[in-house]
Structure 1
Amino acid sequence: MFKNLNEKDKKKIYSLLSLGIICVLALIIISCIPEDENTASDENVAQVEQQQEEEISSSEQKDLEKKLESILSKINGVGDVNVMITFESSEELQPAFNSNSTTETTEEKDAQGGERKVTTESENKTMITSNSNSPVILKTTEAKIKGVLVVASGANDSKVKELLYSAVQTALQVDGHQVQIMSSK
Structure 2
Amino acid sequence: MKKLNELFNDKEKKKLKPLIFLSCICILGLIAIYLMPQNKKQTDVSTDVKVQNLTEEKVKEDLESKLTKILSKINKAGDVDVMITFESSEEIVPAYNSNITTETTKEQDSSGGERTTTSSTENKTMITSNSNEPVVLKTSEAKIKGVIVVASGASDPTVKELLYDAVKTSLQISGHQVEIYEK
Please classify the TM superposition score into its range, dividing by the shorter chain length: 0.5 to 0.7
- CA distance 1:123–1:88, change in 2 (3 Å): farther
CA distance in 1, matches of 2:72, 2:151: 8
CA distance in 1, matches of 2:133, 2:44: 14
Instruction: For residue 76 of structure 1, give the secondary structure of its aligned residue in structure 2.
Output: coil
Is the CA contact (8 Å cut-off) linking 1:95 and 1:127 kept in structure 2?
no
Counterpart of 2:142 in structure 1 is 143
Instruction: For residue 40 of structure 1, give the secondary structure of its aligned residue in structure 2.
Output: helix
For residues 49-80 of structure 1, give each alpha carbon's deviation from its aligned partner in whole angstroms, at most 9, with x where no partner exists: 12111111111101111110111111110011
Counterpart of 1:158 in structure 2 is 157
Alignment root-mean-square deviation, CA: 3.2
Counterpart of 1:76 in structure 2 is 75
TM-score (norm: length of structure 1): 0.66
Shift of 1:134: 6.1
Question: Within the alignment, does 1:62 sit opposite 2:93 as a pair?
Answer: no
Shift of 1:124: 1.9
CA distance in 1, matches of 2:73, 2:86: 25
Shift of 1:135: 4.3
TM-score (norm: length of structure 2): 0.67
Alignment of 1:161-180 (within 5 A): 161-180=160-179
Alignment of 1:18-37 (within 5 A): 32=29, 34-35=32-33, 36-37=35-36
CA distance in 2, matches of 1:38, 1:129: 27
- CA distance 1:105–1:39, change in 2 (3 Å): closer
CA distance in 2, matches of 1:46, 1:127: 21
For these two proteins, the number of residue pairs brought into alignment is 145
Shift of 1:140: 1.3
**Percentage identity across paired residues of the two chains:** 52
Is the CA contact (8 Å cut-off) linking 2:97 and 2:127 kept in structure 1?
no
Q: Runs of 5+ in structure 2 lacking a partner? A: 1-24, 106-115
Instruction: For residue 153 of structure 2, give the secondary structure of its aligned residue in structure 1.
Output: coil
Counterpart of 1:94 in structure 2 is 93
For residues 148-180 of structure 1, give each alpha carbon's deviation from its aligned partner in whole angstroms, at most 9, with x where no partner exists: 111111001011011101111111111112111
For residues 7-56 of structure 1, give each alpha carbon's deviation from its aligned partner in whole angstroms, at most 9, with x where no partner exists: xxxxxxxxxxxxxxxxxxxxx99x93822324422330221012111111
Is the CA contact (8 Å cut-off) linking 1:79 and 1:154 kept in structure 2?
yes
- What is the letter of the counterpart of residue 126 of structure 2? I
Is the CA contact (8 Å cut-off) linking 1:97 and 1:125 kept in structure 2?
no
Q: Runs of 5+ in structure 1 lacking a partner? A: 1-27, 107-117
CA distance in 2, matches of 1:50, 1:132: 24
CA distance in 1, matches of 2:44, 2:91: 20
